[in-house]
Amino acid sequence: MKKILLTSLKITFVFILIFFSSQYCIAQNCFLTPSDTLKKSRVLTVAGSWGGIYGTTLVGLNALWYKNYSRSSFHFFNDNGEWNQIDKVGHCYTAYIESQWSTKAFQWAGMKNNKAAILGGLTGFTLQTTIEILDGFSKEWGFSVGDISANTLGSAINVSQNLLWNEQRIRMKFSSHPVKYDEDVKTRANDLYGTSVPELVMKDYNGQTYWLSVNPSMFIRKENKFPKWLNFAVGYGADGMFGGFENKWTDENGNELTRTDIKRTRQFYITPDISFSRIKTNSHFLKTIFELADVIKFPAPAMEYNSSHQMKWHWVYF
């Protein structure tokens, strides 16, 4: 349950960042327009903003979760087998997004591209790592090597592309769709994932899909006529999960239920996608909006292959 809460908080943070950034864009059309030279006032603004987010996150996590559980000496916990690793991909995605927007913020302050990329990656990694350290001192859980590895990978995917190409040719994206649960497991699903739309989007691992969206036009010669905005994406999701490691739980009457008949499946997708940030415009406001939109996978037809060896076609998948 803690994994679901933390994933919820992380994805909530991303969407809050998107919302407030878009609101600021309305008032300031020059938002995130990079400065030609380093401006100390902008550096202080970036540092202060991220420092405030960092501190608020720590206070919020402690108030919402850690203060209710006993502390312990630093120790490790192996949760690599939980949730068919959807939570690990979520860690990777969140670190990637945090690194990307940190890099954009440092570029806005006038930092050179390579320096902004490295500092941006370190910022994203640090924001995520704090949670792992808090886990390490919590008696109930522990420091997860799998989580920290996923955080590192997410930041590395971002930093390496910025250093190599000064752009993101392969983007990590997120999507979520509602899952229709059978009546015999609906109570368990509601208890585990919630019932409101925001809860289900942020907490239901059975409805989440994470994507690598590739822009082909950036890998072929510059004079090509391939649409610059058209991407192709591969995605990973899972289904049939009603517990971290297995489908076993205790109901409200104290009865232990085991549902090994519900198969926990892995799902793999391929689909077209839209790269909004590659749509040409001279408006810095629209550029920022398009950049914000690129954290989400655009709904489109998709082909699915799953671990039950089934091929499925989806006319519109999100």
Q: In the prediction, which pLDDT does 26 show?
A: 40
In angstroms, the CA 222 to CA 287 distance is 21
In angstroms, the CA 6 to CA 192 distance is 13
Q: In the prediction, which pLDDT does 220 show?
A: 84
Q: Taking the domains of the chain in order of start, what are their residue ranges?
A: 2-317
In angstroms, the CA 289 to CA 278 distance is 12
Taking only the tens place, the pLDDT of each residue in 19-38 is: 444 444 444 444 556 667 78
In angstroms, the CA 101 to CA 104 distance is 5
pLDDT higher than threshold 90 for residue 6 = no
Q: In the prediction, which pLDDT does 182 show?
A: 94
pLDDT higher than threshold 80 for residue 246 = yes
Q: In the prediction, which pLDDT does 40 show?
A: 79
Mean pLDDT of 1-24: 49
Mean pLDDT of 43-66: 73
**More reliable by pLDDT, 5 or 203:** 203
Side chain identity, residue 218: M
- Over pLDDT 90: what percentage of the chain? 53
pLDDT higher than threshold 60 for residue 183 = yes
pLDDT higher than threshold 90 for residue 66 = no
Query: Which of left, alpha, beta for 271 (phi over 0: left; psi -120 to 50: alpha)?
Result: beta
Q: In the prediction, which pLDDT does 107 show?
A: 87
Helices (H), the chain: 2-27, 40-64, 86-108, 113-136, 145-165, 183-193, 197-203, 284-293
Local confidence band at 65 (pLDDT 50, 70, 90 cut-offs): low
pLDDT higher than threshold 90 for residue 261 = yes
Q: In the prediction, which pLDDT does 63 show?
A: 66
Mean pLDDT of 215-219: 90
pLDDT higher than threshold 90 for residue 249 = yes
Q: In the prediction, which pLDDT does 3 show?
A: 54
In angstroms, the CA 302 to CA 300 distance is 6
Local confidence band at 260 (pLDDT 50, 70, 90 cut-offs): very high
- The chain-wide mean pLDDT, for the chain, equals 85
Mean pLDDT of 265-281: 95
- Over pLDDT 70: what percentage of the chain? 86
Mean pLDDT of 181-207: 91
Q: In the prediction, which pLDDT does 64 show?
A: 58
Q: In the prediction, which pLDDT does 7 show?
A: 52
Mean pLDDT of 210-220: 93
Mean pLDDT of 115-126: 93
